[in-house]
């Protein structure tokens, strides 16, 4: 059969955010593809240099809708490190709890997407229904389902009341039941397995070559999780499991996210139990002393990297952000060769694209 | 072999590679070594092959106000600890050897630095733009022609 | 003469089939929604959608043959409506004749071919890809479907749907003798209707809209109407071939029983839609030829032996 080139994007039912790919196919076999980003490039790094640190917290949150909290958390940690201030422990714990909730809702969102692409609309509907519980908690605490504005430089914006704590505990219990149920369904669902097992295997060697991070790397057996390896407080005091699988195929990437969601809920409870009392915020000076800092954290999609340089004024001199999706995307053209056309959605969904993050 | 002793690393690089490098202590949370830009490829090869240090987090480029004719390029690695390699290129002739042949994962980062700062990565077949639109004609956005601060 | 016009336009012709098609679409969407923990559309949604489609601009991309693109949905719908004239509704069939089962099956394969041609005539890549897939799918389900549907004909000794239905009054509903055939017929019907799990030609994530990607306005309305009426006719056909009842029994019960049987099939189809994931085209081809055809032949062998 002749080789034809299908464009996927910038607008396509497969994509939630704009991305342009040219995929070469012959019959039902995919030969390869090329990638073009930049449709949502807003120049965040350059914009950050023209705004004060306080304004930047607001800007950074809008890099991505799904992982907004981890971006601001990492940024605030970077600034607080340069300011050399002591942020109260309680603030760290609240930040961690929101991070874990974000991880849960991001993974559930993703599970729905991959189910939808395989044709299991029902699982998609149920997953997103359950995800609303996690968003309800976030809304109860911060007032927003998607944009939480939790972080400030020097701590967090709100504290937990007893009533909220009780509500969180019941919701987490409910959500844990549902996630466990979901995990059972997925593991016993033959159609999902038929579409994902053995598809687009990624070897640990490829992971290392392409510097891939996050659940994609862990699904191929590479044991790296920046909550454990380079912990931001309070993760250095928290006990949790890092889940890896060895298969490296789309199925491993599916299961690992579901299991991580379950693990995150357990961690959330632990955070609630171990949360110390105290203030949630400490005053931070507006001018940040000269210095440079590198901070890494574990976003739902992998390693989030921030490099911040300050020149003594109230605006950053340079902010460099590397989001995990960018690393995963570099693996995509390689993964696309040697699969079938029907597997394209599964492969693309397997990376858990967040183009807004990648483009900044 | 882990990199936890920066001085030992510097010594072994000086001995086996004959590369002269110095420790840069400016970055909090990071162990940084400064190397001459011409030696970049050899150093990265050494790190990847000899030290098994293969995870490149990203490549940062920046210009410091106190040194406007130079572009500073930092290669951030993760090897159990945060470790970086820093080089400088001049703004007039910004050239660096590519490392995509050693670490394919560096592709996107080099492309972004190339389009944002106008750096040419020698040895690459092509460096298509990553984030900027195809019809961008205003030059590298990060190169300051005058001070942009309000 | 007036009778003929009544049959053609009202019952069991145009108006009746259109209304049934709309009701089917509503039932299907509502059931699916309830399976997925959603509310689902109100009863008038399919009608509203159809009216809205008719009011939309009718565009075609450059390079598409306007005449063919306009004729295809019309021919497809006409074939379906004609096929409906021969399928007994609760025992009532004004035009039945010996051999009408074959005519029905022939007429119902016209829309499948039209669908493929729609993919070819639309210039875009997604349409062509979807069209190719629909043809591949056709080769995988049609043979098992035909084999399965021959069963009742052989058992009753007649190729007229009305006769087959009537003969079940004495012999009993054929589903009891050919449960396998019934199952195969359901699978074949799902394939023919291109419903989940066999909606490969128009899988949104893969080929956007498949062959119908470029159709808009009234043409698209005709395509959708055709699909829905085809579903209804498929259900009627299966009910007549496998679940024949009534006759001999109370004539007042004929219509309610028929309706109930149709509803059971609708629930089956919607349930299958909700539960199963989409197959890959190679998995479908494997399923069709390696499992369905042998099973169909087995069932047919059984039936022939029984008849002897």
- Residue of chain B minimizing CA distance to A83: B28
Looking at residue A73, what is its pLDDT?
Answer: 92
ipTM: 0.86
Residue range A176-187: mean pLDDT, rounded: 88
Query: Cα–Cα distance between B132 and C102 in angstroms, integer?
Result: 62
Looking at residue C283, what is its pLDDT?
Answer: 77
Residues in A touching B141 (Cβ below 8 Å): 43, 46
- Residue of chain C minimizing CA distance to A341: C206
Beta bridge partners of A318: A309
A34 within a domain of the structure (yes/no): no
Residue range B91-98: mean pLDDT, rounded: 85
DSSP assignments along C54-105, one per residue: HTS-----TT--HHHHHHHHHHHHHHHHHHHTTS-BTTB-TT--TTHHHHHH
C-alpha distances in Å from residue A61, one per residue of A72, A148, B14, C48, C259: 6, 9, 44, 41, 57
Contact C278 A118 (CB under 8 A): yes
A345 within a domain of the structure (yes/no): yes
Looking at residue C48, what is its pLDDT?
Answer: 92
Task: Provide CB contacts within 8 A for A17, sequence distance 6+.
Answer: A39, A40, A353, A354, A355, A356
The minimum CA-CA distance between B58 and chain A, rounded to whole Å, is: 6
Looking at residue B1, what is its pLDDT?
Answer: 47
Q: Is the predicted pLDDT of residue B148 greater than 70, yes or no?
A: no
C-alpha distances in Å from residue C106, one per residue of A334, B4, C82: 46, 77, 11
* B147 — pLDDT class (breaks 50, 70, 90): very low
- Residue of chain A minimizing CA distance to C126: A6
Q: Is A77 on the interface with B (CB under 8 A)?
A: no
Neighbours of chain C (3+ CB pairs under 8 A): A
Looking at residue C251, what is its pLDDT?
Answer: 66
A11 within a domain of the structure (yes/no): no
Q: Is B56 on the interface with A (CB under 8 A)?
A: yes
Looking at residue C207, what is its pLDDT?
Answer: 63
Q: Is B62 on the interface with A (CB under 8 A)?
A: yes
> Would you say C289 and C140 are in contact if contact means Cβ atoms under 8 Å apart?
yes
Residue range B6-27: mean pLDDT, rounded: 73
Residues in C touching A119 (Cβ below 8 Å): 196-197, 199, 203, 276-279
Residues A307-356 have pLDDT tens digits of: 999 888 888 989 999 988 888 888 888 777 767 777 787 888 777 788 88
The gap between the terminal CA atoms of chain C, to the nearest Å, is: 44
**Option in B74, B76, B150 nearest A50 (CB):** B150
A6 within a domain of the structure (yes/no): no
Residue range B88-103: mean pLDDT, rounded: 86
Q: Is A345 on the interface with C (CB under 8 A)?
A: yes
Residues A261-311 have pLDDT tens digits of: 999 999 999 988 888 888 888 988 888 888 889 999 998 988 899 999 988
Looking at residue C246, what is its pLDDT?
Answer: 54
The minimum CA-CA distance between A115 and chain C, rounded to whole Å, is: 8
B146 within a domain of the structure (yes/no): no
The minimum CA-CA distance between A294 and chain C, rounded to whole Å, is: 39
Whole-prediction pTM: 0.83
Residue range A64-75: mean pLDDT, rounded: 89
Residue range A192-203: mean pLDDT, rounded: 81
Range of the domain at A331: 42-359
Best probe of the C interface among A178, A254, A342, A346, by most C CBs < 10 A, is: A342
Query: What is the residue whose two structure tokens read 């955070």?
Result: A271
Q: Is A223 on the interface with B (CB under 8 A)?
A: no
Q: Is the predicted pLDDT of residue A17 greater than 60, yes or no?
A: yes
Q: Is A324 on the interface with C (CB under 8 A)?
A: no
Beta bridge partners of C231: none
Which helix or strand (DSSP H or E) is residue B86 part of?
A: strand B82-90
Q: Is C137 on the interface with A (CB under 8 A)?
A: no
Average pLDDT of chain A?
86
Query: Cα–Cα distance between C230 and C214 in angstroms, integer?
Result: 22
Task: Provide CB contacts within 8 A for C109, sequence distance 6+.
Answer: C142
Q: Is A6 on the interface with C (CB under 8 A)?
A: yes
In CATH, what number is assigned to the domain containing residue B74?
A: 3.30.460.80
Contact A329 B108 (CB under 8 A): yes
Q: Is A291 on the interface with B (CB under 8 A)?
A: yes
- Residue of chain A minimizing CA distance to B142: A46
Count of domains forming chain B: 1
Q: Is B64 on the interface with A (CB under 8 A)?
A: yes
* A75 — pLDDT class (breaks 50, 70, 90): very high
Neighbours of chain B (3+ CB pairs under 8 A): A
**Option in A119, A125, A343 nearest C36 (CB):** A125
A35 within a domain of the structure (yes/no): no
User: What three-state secondary structure class fits B121?
Assistant: strand
Query: Cα–Cα distance between A178 and A197 in angstroms, integer?
Result: 24
The minimum CA-CA distance between B149 and chain A, rounded to whole Å, is: 7
B108 within a domain of the structure (yes/no): no
Contact A125 C37 (CB under 8 A): yes
Spans in chain C with pLDDT lower than 50: none
A229 within a domain of the structure (yes/no): yes
Task: Provide CB contacts within 8 A for C157, sequence distance 6+.
Answer: C167, C307
Query: Cα–Cα distance between C186 and C180 in angstroms, integer?
Result: 10
B32 within a domain of the structure (yes/no): yes
Q: Is B109 on the interface with A (CB under 8 A)?
A: yes
Residues 216-275 of C with CB under 8 A from A: 274-275
> Would you say C124 and C211 are in contact if contact means Cβ atoms under 8 Å apart?
no
Looking at residue C1, what is its pLDDT?
Answer: 73
Q: Is C203 on the interface with A (CB under 8 A)?
A: yes
B51 within a domain of the structure (yes/no): yes
Lowest-pLDDT range, A234-243, B56-65, B104-113, C92-101? C92-101
Range of the domain at B74: 6-93
The minimum CA-CA distance between A303 and chain C, rounded to whole Å, is: 28
Q: Is C143 on the interface with A (CB under 8 A)?
A: no
A14 within a domain of the structure (yes/no): no
B58 within a domain of the structure (yes/no): yes
B150 within a domain of the structure (yes/no): no
Q: Is C213 on the interface with A (CB under 8 A)?
A: no
In CATH, what number is assigned to the domain containing residue A346?
A: 1.10.645.10
Count of domains forming chain A: 1
**Option in C32, C205, C276 nearest A191 (CB):** C276
Contact B104 A329 (CB under 8 A): no
Looking at residue B150, what is its pLDDT?
Answer: 34
Q: Phi, psi at residue A305, to the nearest 5°?
A: -120, 130
Count interface pairs A-B at CB distance under 8 A.
96
Residues in B touching A209 (Cβ below 8 Å): 54, 103-105
Q: Is A83 on the interface with B (CB under 8 A)?
A: no
């Amino acid at each position: 059969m002749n080789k034809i080139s299908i464009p996927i994007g910038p607008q396509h039912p497969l994509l939630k955010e704009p991305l342009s790919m040219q995929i070469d196919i012959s019959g039902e076999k995919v030969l390869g593809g090329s990638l073009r980003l930049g449709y949502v490039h807003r120049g965040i790094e350059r914009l950050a240099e023209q705004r004060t640190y306080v304004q930047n917290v607001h800007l950074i949150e809008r890099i991505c809708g799904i992982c907004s909290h981890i971006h601001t958390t990492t940024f605030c940690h970077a600034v607080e490190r340069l300011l050399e201030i002591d942020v109260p422990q309680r603030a760290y714990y609240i930040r961690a709890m929101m991070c874990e909730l974000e991880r849960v809702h991001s993974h559930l969102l993703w599970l729905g997407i991959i189910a939808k692409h395989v044709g299991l609309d029902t699982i998609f509907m149920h997953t997103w229904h359950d995800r609303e519980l996690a968003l309800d908690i976030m809304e109860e605490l911060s007032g927003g389902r998607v944009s939480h504005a939790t972080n400030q430089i020097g701590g967090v914006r709100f504290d937990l009341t007893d009533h909220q704590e009780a509500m969180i505990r019941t919701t987490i219990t409910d959500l844990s039941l549902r996630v466990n149920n979901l995990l059972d369904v997925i593991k016993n669902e033959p159609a999902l397995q038929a579409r994902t097992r053995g598809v687009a295997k990624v070897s640990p060697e490829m992971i290392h070559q392409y510097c891939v991070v996050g659940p994609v790397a862990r699904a191929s057996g590479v044991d790296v999780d920046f909550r454990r390896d380079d912990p931001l407080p309070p993760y250095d005091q928290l006990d949790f499991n890092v889940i890896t699988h060895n298969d490296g195929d789309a199925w491993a990437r599916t299961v690992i996210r579901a299991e991580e969601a379950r693990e995150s809920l357990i961690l959330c409870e632990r955070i609630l139990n171990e949360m110390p009392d105290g203030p949630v915020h400490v005053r931070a000076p507006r001018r940040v002393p000269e210095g440079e800092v590198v901070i890494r954290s574990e976003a739902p999609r992998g390693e989030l990297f921030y490099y911040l340089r300050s020149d003594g004024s109230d605006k950053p001199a340079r902010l460099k952000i590397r989001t995990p999706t960018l690393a995963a995307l570099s693996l995509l053209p390689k993964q696309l060769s040697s699969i079938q056309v029907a597997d394209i959605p599964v492969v693309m969904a397997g990376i858990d694209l967040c183009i807004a993050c990648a483009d900044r | 072999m882990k990199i936890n002793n920066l001085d030992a690393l510097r010594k072994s690089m000086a001995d086996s590679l004959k590369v002269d490098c110095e420790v840069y202590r400016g970055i909090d949370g990071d162990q940084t070594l400064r190397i001459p830009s011409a030696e970049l490829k050899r150093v990265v090869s050494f790190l990847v092959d000899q030290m098994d240090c293969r995870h490149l987090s990203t490549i940062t480029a920046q210009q410091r106000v106190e040194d406007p004719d130079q572009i500073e390029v930092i290669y951030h690695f993760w090897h159990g600890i945060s470790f970086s390699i820093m080089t400088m290129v001049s703004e007039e002739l910004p050239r660096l050897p590519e490392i995509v042949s050693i670490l394919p994962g560096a592709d996107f980062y080099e492309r972004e630095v190339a389009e944002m700062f106008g750096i040419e990565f020698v040895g690459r077949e092509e460096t298509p733009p990553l984030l900027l639109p195809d019809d961008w004609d205003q030059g590298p956005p990060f190169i300051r022609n005058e001070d942009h601060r309000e | 003469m007036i009778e003929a016009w009544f049959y053609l336009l009202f019952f069991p012709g145009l108006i009746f089939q259109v209304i049934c098609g709309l009701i089917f679409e509503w039932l299907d969407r509502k059931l699916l929604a309830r399976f997925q923990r959603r509310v689902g559309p109100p009863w008038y949604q399919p009608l509203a959608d159809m009216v809205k489609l008719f009011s939309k601009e009718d565009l075609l991309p450059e390079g598409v043959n306007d005449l063919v693109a306009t004729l295809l949905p019309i021919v497809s719908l006409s074939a379906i409506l004609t096929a409906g004239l021969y399928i007994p509704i609760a025992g009532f069939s004004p035009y039945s004749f010996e051999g009408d089962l074959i005519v029905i099956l022939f007429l119902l394969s016209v829309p499948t071919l039209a669908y493929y041609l729609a993919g070819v005539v639309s210039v875009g890549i997604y349409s062509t890809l979807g069209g190719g897939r629909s043809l591949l799918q056709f080769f995988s389900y049609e043979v098992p479907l035909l084999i399965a549907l021959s069963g009742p004909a052989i058992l009753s000794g007649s190729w007229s749907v009305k006769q087959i239905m009537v003969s079940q009054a004495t012999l009993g509903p054929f589903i009891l003798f050919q449960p396998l055939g019934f199952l195969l017929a359901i699978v074949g019907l799902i394939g023919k209707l291109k419903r989940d799990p066999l909606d490969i030609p128009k899988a949104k994530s893969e080929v956007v809209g498949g062959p119908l990607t470029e159709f808009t306005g009234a043409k698209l309305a005709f395509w959708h109407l055709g699909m829905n009426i085809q579903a209804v006719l498929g259900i009627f056909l299966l009910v007549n071939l496998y679940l024949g009842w009534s006759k001999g029994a109370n004539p007042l019960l004929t219509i309610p029983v028929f309706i109930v049987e149709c509803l059971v099939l609708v629930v089956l189809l919607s349930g299958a839609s909700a539960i199963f994931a989409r197959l890959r085209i190679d998995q479908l081809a494997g399923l069709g030829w390696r499992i369905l055809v042998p099973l169909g032949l087995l069932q047919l062998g059984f039936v022939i032996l029984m008849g002897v």
